[in-house]
Every structure is written in structure tokens, then in C-alpha cells.
Amino acid sequence: MCDCRDSYLTSCSTFFQICSSSQNCVTGSPLLLGFVESRKAEIGIKIVEDTKDLEESFDMIFSLNFMRLLVQQIHKLQFYAIPKPNLHVEMVGKEWIDVVPSSPNSYELRSSIYSSLNACPLEKICVMEITE
């Protein structure tokens, strides 16, 4: 039996990039990609010198080999739950009505992009700092 995910991943490039939406990210940054490939790393991180909040501003490259490994080691990611109010519907009589909760009624699970570093050996991570 063929696993479609694996056949798709092997037909694509060997790295992919994740950028925060709060910065001007150069997709397919040749400088970062070249650095990661030359170091034979699994994860590459670009940090800009004047960055105030690394959670809000990041540029990372992951190898697809590492992502295959991470999918099998999802327990190494650190998730935290945030209470959230979510709209829903309830049947009252024979009619569905919208319910707007006044307090949280569910949880949103979040994980920092940096928690993926827990699943990667330190010698396979490279960091590039951009100074101006």
C-alpha cells in the first residue's frame, strides 16, 4: 500500500520554510537555505538583530526528513491550552438557535514553533543572525 504523504514529500523539494506573518519574509531565502544545506542541518533559524519578540517574528527552514520524524514524535512538542468562548448552536424546541457564550466553553491548543527544536539533535540545528 502506498502512503500518499510519503510519495508527495519525495516528489517535492527537500526543505520548506515557515515565516511569521508579522515580518517581510523572503520566500525561499537562498542565503538561509544555502547555510542550512552547507551545515547538513535539519532546522535553520534566521534571527534579525533588532527582533524584540521571537515568537512573533521568525524565519525557519525544516528538512522534510526532519518533518517525517517529527510527525512520529509529536509528543515532543509542547502544547498549552487557552480557554476560548466558541459560538455554537442548540436545538430549542424544534428550532436551532445560535448561542453566544458569556464565558469560555472550549480550549484552543497552541504550540510554539520553537518547540519543534525539542525533537532535533542540537548538532542538526543552525542559527543565522542578520545584523544591520
Residue 31 pLDDT exceeds 80? yes
How confident is the model over 109-113, as a mean pLDDT? Answer: 89
pLDDT at residue 48, rounded to an integer: 78
Alpha carbon dihedral 48, 117, 124, 126, in 10-degree steps, equals: 10
More confident residue, 10 or 79: 79
Q: What is the Cα–Cα distance from 23 to 99, expressed in whole angstroms?
A: 37
Rounded average pLDDT over 117-121: 92
3-state secondary structure of 35: helix
Name the average pLDDT for the chain. 82
Residue 5's nearest CA partner among 61, 62, 63, 71 is 71
